[in-house]
Structures are given as C-alpha cells and as structure tokens.
C-alpha cells in the first residue's frame, strides 16, 4: 500500500482525495506497489519563498518543490518495519491558482499536475 500524508497550510480549496489518488497512480505506474509513503503539503507564498531561499538559495518563484529522501546527505536509517519514505512534495497554492486562472483550468487539475511532477522527482525521474 502507498500512503500519502496531506497537509494544507490554510483551508485551501483543493480536493485532497483526488490529488492523493494521482500521486499513488503515478507511483504505481512506475513500479512502486507497497509500503511507500510520501508527504504532500499545500502552502502559501510566504512559506514557499522561505523554503526556496533556505534550500535553493535563490529568489526564483517555484510552483512545486520535492525533497527526495534519496538525496539526504549521509546515511539515513529507517526503523525496522517502517514504510519506505520517498520524501516530501511542497506545492505553492498561489502559483497553482495563478496558473489555473491563466490557463482556464481547475485548480485541482493544476495541483494534481504539480503533485505528479513532484512525485516523479521523488523517484528519480527528472526533466531537462
């Protein structure tokens, strides 16, 4: 079974069940079938900017960040019997909302696309 922990910094109007399902679907399509866990957070502009500055040392705007456990420096040991933790996906609600408005798409579609993009990064699939 694949678990997706879902956190919203505020009461953002997104369908958490739909988005979790999209993340699970993409992980299964890529061969991950059991005992995996992902954390997904929808955050506001201030927190996203703070995370970008802290971890990427830049001022560029990002719609999605992913922090794969596989990229942690040093040896990371999970407790016996625990799930395989893939990492964290963080999505900017403000960026998603702006994109939805510009492209005339639903916010859930944009957030789902961003969550899928982040999940792909967690399993090592990157873009150019």
Structural domain includes residue 127: no
Total domains in the chain come to 1
Contacts of 71 (CB under 8 A, 6+ apart): 87
Q: Model confidence over 90-116: pLDDT tens digits?
A: 999 999 999 999 999 999 999 999 999
Domain assignment of residue 48, given as a range: 2-122
pLDDT (tens digit per residue) in 49-79? 999 999 888 888 899 999 998 776 656 666 6
What distance in Å separates the CA atoms of residue 22 and residue 44, rounded to the nearest whole number?
22
For residue 81, being part of any structural domain is answered with yes
Q: Is residue 56 part of a domain?
A: yes
DSSP 14-29: --HHHHHHHHHHHHHH
Phi, psi (rounded to 5 degrees) for 91: -120, 135
- Name which of 98, 94, 99 is nearest 49 in CA terms: 94
Look at residue 103 and tell me if it is in a domain. Answer: yes
Task: State the distance between the two ends of the chain, measured CA to CA, in whole angstroms.
Answer: 31
The pTM (predicted TM-score) of the whole model is 0.90
CATH code at position 78 = 3.40.390.30
């Amino acid at each position: 079974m694949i678990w997706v922990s879902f956190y919203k910094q505020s009461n953002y109007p997104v369908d958490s069940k739909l988005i979790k399902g999209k993340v699970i679907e993409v992980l299964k399509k890529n061969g991950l079938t059991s005992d995996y866990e992902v954390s997904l957070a929808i955050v506001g502009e201030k927190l996203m900017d703070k995370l970008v500055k802290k971890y990427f040392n830049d001022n560029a705007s990002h719609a999605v960040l992913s922090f794969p456990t596989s990229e942690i420096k040093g040896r990371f040991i999970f407790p016996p019997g625990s799930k395989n933790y893939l990492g964290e996906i963080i999505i900017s609600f403000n960026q998603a909302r702006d994109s939805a408005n510009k492209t005339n798409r639903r916010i859930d579609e944009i957030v789902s696309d961003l969550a899928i993009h982040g999940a792909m990064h967690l399993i090592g699939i990157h873009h150019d």
